[in-house]
Amino acid sequence: MSESKTIHFRIRKFNPETDPAPSWKTFAVPFAKGMTVLDGLHWIKRNQDTGLAFRYSCRMGVCGSCGMLINGRPTLACNTQVAALKAAMVVVAPLPNFHTVRDLVPDLTPMFEKHQAIRPFILREDKGEMDAPTAEFYQTPHELEEYLQFSFCIRCGACMAACPTMATDRDYPGPMPLAQAYRYSADSRDGGFAERAKAVDRKSGVFSCHFGSECSAACPKGVDPAKAIQLMKRRLVFDYLRLFKAKKPCGGVHGQRTTGRREGIPEAPEYTIK
Amino acid sequence: MSSKSYDNHLGIKGWALGGAWSPERYLYTLHRVTGLGILSYFLLHILVTTSRAFGPAQWNALLGDGGFLRHPVFVVGEFLVLAAFGFHAANGVRLILIELGFAVGRPIEPVYPYKTSLHASRFVTVVLMLAGAAFIVLGGLEFLRH
């Protein structure tokens, strides 16, 4: 595509104050090499439609603010180059499976409420250490690998928009919260599996996922929520059949240990700063 | 949610739209459609067998030689039930394996281009879909012989 060409953006517009339903508007945008969909939206806002509403922040695929439906696929506008779409028209709509606040801005509140419900933080019985930690908890590289992939989630909502179960079941927590339920349950420092199991093992819960696996195909960060969800189901089933041997959450490296050091874990070096 | 916002849930259209178009999405949709089809067949089957309670004449009118249900349309329908069963069973085995975490691989550090559980499970998917297709073809040959 040469730089003198223009590219057409077809954008879904919706103003809650005046419009009963969304409508579509097309804009001609000068194409530039390396131009992202977010760049195109900025150009339109600067030059053609100052009222165009869209959400963004970091412009580099880290914050997860600019999740949109671009040419039928939920992804990040800042991470999608116009040339890579290989299409004469860039069709941009707000993420489906959410309410639309205005133009390209979805209301992500239900997603964050569901995320909160699965208790996305380390849960332990030693409240004293949690409230006033004396040191880091130890964790082997192997234990880190058990959840590291799922910790790259940026909560952009692309997986929720792609999920076919989310489309018809509003009580379903969705790929992001379920993947995060596994992320924390698989963390060797955590002891909250039973509590999270209550939150996800229910009607319209984790077993409503039937591996449409669009969440993993759509995820712009390679988090693979579908894998985390299947591993969560495996753990729930094995736990029910009493085939899963739960470990106690690991203790601290320094200071008072709650469960003692496991075999093969070397002593940590002394603090470099005292 | 404010009534002034627009409800952008896809509803049943979401079974086919709004994603990244992996083949597994279509297996997901087809699994639901075939499941509903088989369930409908079961209900119809109960109705048909209930006709026996009204005497042999009623039964023969439905299933005897030249009976209502011997019409080619119903024979094709019966083959579709067999095909739905073949697919639903093969995909069901695939789902059991995957949902018990046997074919999705271990967590890995995401390095672009990302390899996901889709790639890890594809071999199982292809093998089981071929098995389902073989069942449907063999069943179809049986229909043609009769």
User: Do residues A216 and A97 both lie within one domain?
Assistant: no
User: Do residues A126 and A88 both lie within one domain?
Assistant: no
Number of domains in chain A: 2
Max intra-chain CA distance, chain A: 67
B105 touches A at CB < 8 Å: yes
User: Do residues A119 and A235 both lie within one domain?
Assistant: yes
Long-range contacts of residues B100-106, Cβ cutoff 8 Å, at least 24 apart: B100/A230, B100/A233, B100/A234, B100/A237, B101/A230, B101/A231, B101/A233, B101/A234, B101/A235, B104/A226, B104/A227, B104/A230, B104/A231, B105/A227, B106/A145
* Closest among A44, A76, A74 to B14, alpha carbons compared: A74
Chain B nearest-CA residue for A238: B100
Question: At residue B137, does pLDDT exceed 70?
Answer: yes
Which of A58, A74, A107 is a domain's end point? A107
Chain A residues near residue B112 by CB distance under 8 angstroms = 222
Chain A residues near residue B28 by CB distance under 8 angstroms = 164, 210-212
User: Within a domain: residue A261?
Assistant: no
Question: pLDDT digit of tens for each residue in chain A (274 aa)?
Answer: 455 789 999 999 999 999 999 999 999 999 999 999 999 999 999 999 999 999 999 999 999 999 999 999 999 999 999 999 999 899 999 999 999 999 999 999 999 999 999 999 999 888 887 888 777 788 889 999 999 999 999 999 999 999 999 999 999 999 999 999 999 999 999 999 999 999 999 999 999 999 999 999 999 999 999 999 999 999 999 999 999 887 788 876 555 555 666 677 777 788 887 7
**Domain residue ranges of chain B, discontinuous segments joined by +:** 22-145
User: Do residues A54 and A168 both lie within one domain?
Assistant: no
A20 touches B at CB < 8 Å: no
Chain A residues near residue B117 by CB distance under 8 angstroms = 213, 216, 224, 226-227, 230
Which of A88, A107, A126 is a domain's end point? A107
User: Do residues A55 and A40 both lie within one domain?
Assistant: yes
Domain hosting residue A64, numbered range? 6-107
User: Within a domain: residue A254?
Assistant: no
User: Within a domain: residue A76?
Assistant: yes
User: Do residues A34 and A69 both lie within one domain?
Assistant: yes
Q: Domain containing A123 — which CATH number?
A: 1.10.1060.10
Which pLDDT score, from 0 to 100, does residue B138 have?
Answer: 96
Which of A107, A122, A140 is a domain's end point? A107
| Rg (chain B; Cα; Å) | 21
User: Do residues A92 and A155 both lie within one domain?
Assistant: no
Q: Which helix (H) or strand (E) holds A93?
A: strand A89-93
User: Within a domain: residue A11?
Assistant: yes
Min Cα separation B58/chain A (Å)? 42
User: Do residues A148 and A201 both lie within one domain?
Assistant: yes
User: Within a domain: residue A253?
Assistant: no
**Distance between the two ends of chain B, CA-based, in angstroms?**
60
Select from B97, B111, B116, B125 the residue whose CB has the most chain A CBs within 10 Å, as the one to mutate to test that interface. B116
User: Do residues A93 and A160 both lie within one domain?
Assistant: no
Chain B nearest-CA residue for A169: B11
User: Do residues A47 and A141 both lie within one domain?
Assistant: no
What ipTM was assigned to the predicted interfaces of this complex?
Answer: 0.87
Q: In CATH, what number does B22-145 get?
A: 1.20.1300.10
